[in-house]
Chain A
Amino acid sequence: MSRSFRAETVKLVRRPASWLLLAITLVLALIFTYVFPYAGIAGGTDGPNTGRALPALLPDQLVGNSLGGLPVFLGSILLILGVLTVGGEYGWGTWKTVLTQGPTRLEVYAGKLLALAAAALAVVLAVFAVGAVASVLIASAEAQPVTWPSAGDLLTGIGAGWLIATMWAMLGAVLAVALRAVALPVGLGLVWMLAVQNLLAAIAAPLVDWVAKAQEGLPGPNAGSLAAALGAPGDTPGVAATVGGGQAAVVVAAYLVGFAAVGAVLLRRRDIG
């Protein structure tokens, strides 16, 4: 499996799309978490989400600010990365090329998932790093003290972010295996994350009790609850304390394992076309 992991890591690192996705992730995180809110504060403008005060942008809020995008927007990018990593083999017809070199299907799949998990950690660390720099710059500009979260809080936040990011990447992977393609899994995954989840939360859940109850078991609301429990701003899309942080972590982890396992079963059972 270590051979497959090394091969998958090389493919992921050398693929231009991986770097493009990372760049988009960091730009989104920077702009929506720091640039726009700070511009609103500095300019004194009013509008949606302008209630965020300067203290919310300072270094001591780094954990919550870094996790806020993962339940929806940054999570969508991780989902795309998962689809590309697994679905690319279908799109290019390279499953046969890889498998005829000798590794079993599950070895290759496990290598892909490990590489995705490593990529998810790198993305989360990069988001934290960019957030740290941005918050320090804002603190300096506003002559505010630079106070960092405790090491424990940072590690917990990074761990939670890694868990959420990897879960979305696994969803992308299982969609790619299930649909044996790239475009359709990306499309369906984004429709779920950006449209259906919001519609369920904003429209269906307030009207229908069982939908509200079901929200407590869905991946998005649990990812949002985990982020909220660690300080993510409540005005961020997808962030809401629907359940407690402990339950949310368990449910997100369960989805991560479930997505990976379903993908493995499908890949093992089906013919490689």
Chain B
Amino acid sequence: MNLPVQTEGLTKRYGGLTAVQDLNLTVRAGEVYGFLGPNGAGKTTTLRMLLGLVRPTAGTVRLLGRPPAAGRLTGVGALIEGPAFYPYLSGRDNLRVLARYAGVGADRVALVLDLVDLTDRAGDRYAGYSLGMKQRLGVAAALLKDPRLLILDEPTNGLDPAGMADMRTLIRRLGAAGCTVLVSSHLLGEVEQVCDRVGVIARGRLVAEGSVAELRGAAGLRLLADPLDAAAARARDLVGAERVRVVDGGLELAVEPDRAAWLNTELVGAGLAVRELRPRERDLEQVFFDLVEKGTADVA
């Protein structure tokens, strides 16, 4: 079965600068894949290589089983590095021109304008659009071909909070409808809310890949109790000393969160005052910074 996106050893160098290095990326059919990285990490360069806009220095790309340079980007829609259209045409006429290139009918133009909620302003000149409207027109253009694979580069840039929420809903809806979506972002919350899997890129290298839960790492419990020393001793007796750590004036227990009720009963039964006992999740932002820092250090 052809994977929607598959790269092997993808590398791009500009003179002495390596923008992307040895990138092995796999996006599975039907998933919403988040491509996460700080500004300048190589996200857009990677996406440009996927679409054949930039020629890789080394490595291979296959989109829906075919190299992008071999022919038309059949079944692929994309919005790369912000929207770009003809300022003297209206939004609708811009899409009509693009529909001619894509070989799709005018009915698709009306449909995608409606999908991004731009029908009312479709007759206005593109030059007069707000940044958010331009972004929505860019997504509409990406959807013109009713793509099986949608590649979106920072799709919520320039959108207000309501527009961002609409965009996330649209992406989730497309994913639920079977469209594979590769969405790049530097916004962790956005990726967390819409993506099935995440790849983290730093200094041109893929430094981690997996579900959001996998990236967060093992779950556990956070315990605040008085007196802390006695609570720590009792907790070690209950779950094992190697699973208990004193962190920031409390305890972190490397156990399944569903053991919280049992632990609470035992600790209270031992005469300890339990002030807080809750599941502990690693903050995704911290995970991201750790991964980026580690990736940067590895490259250096």
Contacts and interface: CB of A to CB of B under 8 A. Distances in A.
B85 interface: yes
A272 B54 contact: yes
A63 interface: no
B170 to A, nearest CB: 18
B165 interface: no
Contacts of B80: 96, 100
Top 8 A-B pairs, shortest CB-CB distance: A93-B84, A7-B100, A102-B72, A101-B102, A272-B53, A101-B101, A100-B78, A271-B54
Contacts of B141: 97, 100-101
Interface in B40-97: 48, 51-55, 71-74, 76-89, 93, 96-97
Nearest to A9: B100
B100 A6 contact: yes
Given A101-B141, A101-B145, A108 B101 contact: yes
Contacts of A271: 48, 53-55
A96 B73 CA distance: 12
A15 interface: yes
B86 A94 contact: yes
Contacts of A272: 48, 53-54
Interface residues of A, number: 27
A102 to B, nearest CB: 4
14 contacts: A7-B101, A10-B100, A92-B87, A93-B82, A95-B53, A96-B53, A96-B84, A97-B83, A98-B101, A99-B73, A100-B51, A100-B142, A104-B71, A108-B101
Contact of B97 (A7, A99, A100): A7
Nearest to B153: A96
Contacts of A15: 86, 88
Given A10-B97, A92-B87, A102 B54 contact: no
A29 B97 CA distance: 33
Contacts of A96: 48, 51, 53, 78, 80-81, 84
Contacts of A98: 98, 101
Interface in A102-128: 102-104, 108
B86 A11 contact: yes
Given A96-B80, A97-B141, A100-B80, A4 B101 contact: yes
Given A7-B101, A271-B54, A102 B81 contact: no
Contacts of A7: 97-98, 100-101
B16 interface: no
B264 to A, nearest CB: 55
A3 B77 contact: no
Contacts of B138: 97
B144 interface: yes
B214 to A, nearest CB: 31
A81 to B, nearest CB: 15
A187 interface: no
Interface string B128-160: 000000000010011011000000000000000
Contacts of A269: 55
Contacts of A14: 88-89, 93
B176 to A, nearest CB: 24
A103 B51 CA distance: 12
B149 to A, nearest CB: 11
B189 interface: no
Interface in B171-225: none
